[in-house]
Structure 1
């Protein structure tokens, strides 16, 4: 029940029948609770109208397995996904965050039962890379300290020894989406001068370069609408530099299990490219109903006849013309034809489209 309705109820005079409390016995809800024991609630982070049937169809296609998944709309932009096993549910959590039409899918795990009126979505899981940490300080403990500053610590990628030497520290954090994205943090280590560490987010969906909040772009920013003034792009406090590409090789499933505080990761925890590709073809295969125009390396284009006039297909790890990796490419097809100039280079189409990396996004009650 929302706040307005709850306030209204305070002024009602209830009849004797309405005052009475009806007790529901546990056996009366046993079957439904058993059927929905491995489930999540989820919503699309948007204030705009969207095609709910396409949304459900896409989620079903991406999340299905041999045991299947059932998705039901249970409220205004509120959906229930029921999985066949705890392992399947955990796999979807581990691969979050998910996105649809570049918008973040917010998810909530719940145990037991919950009233839909009391459901809130305030957190999402992300893999975050930390740059500019002094080399001898790159370890699990320092990563855990920084993660706790950003939100709820889930995982620090480190060796069994606790060391995490490399170009960056990689952490898994449940961040509060009601706050702007954290860009930097000043840290002071031993006798060194205090210095900034810099954060980059893997699989970052739409966010505002003006205010730093997830869920909208700068031209939709409420702060600009309230102020009724324009801000030059050069003055934006956020930008695409907050994005970082997910690792090509991926990580084993248990390497990103939520709530496994600062888990130790050994060399054997890294997937080979071939293993990751095999997994991606199962988990992230393209939705058959969506029209696709796929770029290939020669460069020529192969067109697949569309079944509808408009669709959005997401693909990460697209290669730019000079071979540098670009974070995310989004193709919007209004007609058949190449989405980029003929001299552009593209990923091998055998890789498929969709979520083929470890992603991030669930919140527990």
Structure 2
């Protein structure tokens, strides 16, 4: 409010310009209309501009297999996405990560009270695998603590167990990841007193392109401002990226994806 008041003072508005004009309703501003509920914004982290038809062809059939999506170009690789069905929007918002031409597509919910420049394109959902955990800690409580360290905890794959305990080689959980921050390579687990702390490496399913130098998603070490010397060891490497095997006869298309439909605790449904 203070910013607006300063702006109005500096402009030395006329009486006609000072008169406020009420436009729209609260539901329109908050994006709660039926039309707005099927919309979202997309931002493709790619230097060259890409046509909206490419987005529709790469992701539309995955998000809305029956009705597809409409993609409107807003310039500079920003897009307005209109989904043919509500389930498609939920999938775009809650699953992922999504890529087009191997570059990350960040999806943000429609907010009618903000300009495009005010929309936050900083977060993506992604499944994370935590290894080297004691079996007694393979549960939802541990997943929530680790998830909130890595990003914002969303859910955990419990392999159908009612008590949320998973007996597996890794703990699989979904987080909302802040792509402005360096990727975490692991977490240090503090156990009971007198027991040495344990290092638990992390890997990210369908992790998009990221910088081996600074660990930030969205650019590579070739263009990083913190570029290392030729003989320097990179702090990050490709071991952070985990690509689950495809479902037999399946096609992931432009999907990063959560893989819940065909991956349970790292074992394929065909037993392999």
TM-score w.r.t. length of structure 1: 0.61
Question: Where does residue 169 of structure 1 map in the other structure?
Answer: 171
Would the alpha carbon gap of residues 106 and 353 (structure 1) be closer, same or farther in structure 2, given more than 3 Å must change?
closer
1:205 aligns with 2:181: no
Secondary structure (helix, strand or coil) at the match of 1:223 reads coil
Secondary structure (helix, strand or coil) at the match of 1:66 reads coil
Equivalent residues in 2 for 1:325-364, closer than 5 Å? 350-352=249-251, 354-355=253-254, 358-359=257-258
Q: Deviations along 1:69-91, whole A, 9 cap, x unmatched?
A: 22112343211111133222112
**In 1, Cα distance between the equivalents of 2:16 and 2:239?**
61
Question: Where does residue 68 of structure 2 map in the other structure?
Answer: 68
Would the alpha carbon gap of residues 183 and 357 (structure 1) be closer, same or farther in structure 2, given more than 3 Å must change?
closer
Question: Where does residue 138 of structure 1 map in the other structure?
Answer: 138
TM-score w.r.t. length of structure 2: 0.81
Q: Any gaps of 5 or more consecutive residues in structure 1?
A: 225-229, 249-272, 278-349, 361-365
**In 2, Cα distance between the equivalents of 1:351 and 1:62?**
12
Give the conservation status (yes or no) of the 8 Å contact 2:44–2:106. Answer: yes
1:221 aligns with 2:120: no
Q: CA deviation at 1:356?
A: 6.3
Q: CA deviation at 1:122?
A: 1.4
**In 2, Cα distance between the equivalents of 1:167 and 1:73?**
44
Secondary structure (helix, strand or coil) at the match of 2:11 reads coil
**In 2, Cα distance between the equivalents of 1:212 and 1:49?**
22
Q: CA deviation at 1:208?
A: 0.5
Equivalent residues in 2 for 1:108-127, closer than 5 Å? 108-110=108-110, 113-127=113-127
Would the alpha carbon gap of residues 187 and 352 (structure 1) be closer, same or farther in structure 2, given more than 3 Å must change?
closer
Q: Any gaps of 5 or more consecutive residues in structure 2?
A: 260-272
Equivalent residues in 2 for 1:1-365, closer than 5 Å? 11-26=10-25, 33-46=33-46, 48-53=47-52, 55-57=54-56, 58-110=58-110, 113-158=113-158, 159-191=161-193, 192-224=195-227, 230-232=228-230, 235-246=233-244, 248=246, 350-352=249-251, 354-355=253-254, 358-359=257-258
Would the alpha carbon gap of residues 7 and 120 (structure 1) be closer, same or farther in structure 2, given more than 3 Å must change?
farther
Secondary structure (helix, strand or coil) at the match of 1:107 reads strand
Give the conservation status (yes or no) of the 8 Å contact 1:246–1:357. Answer: no
Would the alpha carbon gap of residues 153 and 10 (structure 1) be closer, same or farther in structure 2, given more than 3 Å must change?
farther
| Count of matched residue positions in the alignment of Structure 1 and Structure 2 | 252
Q: CA deviation at 1:351?
A: 3.5
